[in-house]
Copies of this chain bind each other. A is one copy, B any other.
Amino acid sequence: MNRGVSTLDFILRLIAIMATLVSAIAMGTTSKTLPFITWLIRFRARYNDLPTFTFFVIANSIVCAYLVVSLAISILHITRSAEQGTRVILIFFDTAMLALLTAGASAAAAIVYLAHKGNTRANWFVICQQFNSFCEHISGSLIGSFGAILLFTLLILLSSLALSWH
């Protein structure tokens, strides 16, 4: 039973690696998707014009790198399913990475929301009318991150189940 859980853990980590990698790359390459409007508008919209998006890329990259390293421990759990200490360590770091990823994703979501809706009270204008494909691109790049957040919640649940079954 624990071996099955450990295998599922390994597969979910692989999917989460993909999700965070795609998110980081999608956001990080946003500037390059808009070459055709570069000459029409006053400036070129890039993800790092907004510090929140830079933080998003960094958070996704760190989490992705962590997930790659954690694969080694996941494989250890498949071969030696009685391990307890490493599972606790994995739960701790998974939790920390979940918090980092959620922070990056929801901060970016707050700015994307503002770019779409604007705020009349604060005199912050909608910028998605001018930068339509830029906005679509950054909105899309959030999907991978939010998917990975769900995967992390599942990973922590699986690890705690494996601990309780021991």
Write the residues of chain A forming the contact surface with B, with a CB cutoff of 8 angstroms. 43, 45, 49-52, 84-85, 87-88, 91-92, 95-96, 98-99, 102-111, 113-115, 117, 119, 121-125, 127, 149, 152-153, 156-157, 159-161, 163-164, 166
Contacts and interface: CB of A to CB of B under 8 A. Distances in A.
26 contacts: A43-B121, A45-B121, A49-B119, A49-B122, A50-B121, A52-B113, A52-B114, A85-B164, A91-B156, A91-B160, A95-B98, A95-B157, A96-B153, A99-B99, A99-B149, A102-B102, A103-B105, A103-B106, A104-B106, A106-B106, A106-B110, A108-B110, A110-B111, A115-B122, A122-B124, A124-B125
Given A102-B99, A103-B106, A157 B123 contact: no
Contacts of A115: 122
Contacts of A157: 88, 91-92, 95
Nearest to A153: B95
Contacts of A96: 153
A118 to B, nearest CB: 9
Contacts of A125: 122-124
A87 B160 contact: yes
A153 B163 CA distance: 18
Given A88-B161, A99-B149, 10 more contacts: A49-B122, A50-B119, A92-B153, A96-B153, A103-B106, A111-B114, A114-B124, A124-B124, A164-B166, A166-B166
Contact of A106 (B107, B127, B160): B107
Contacts of A98: 95, 98-99, 102
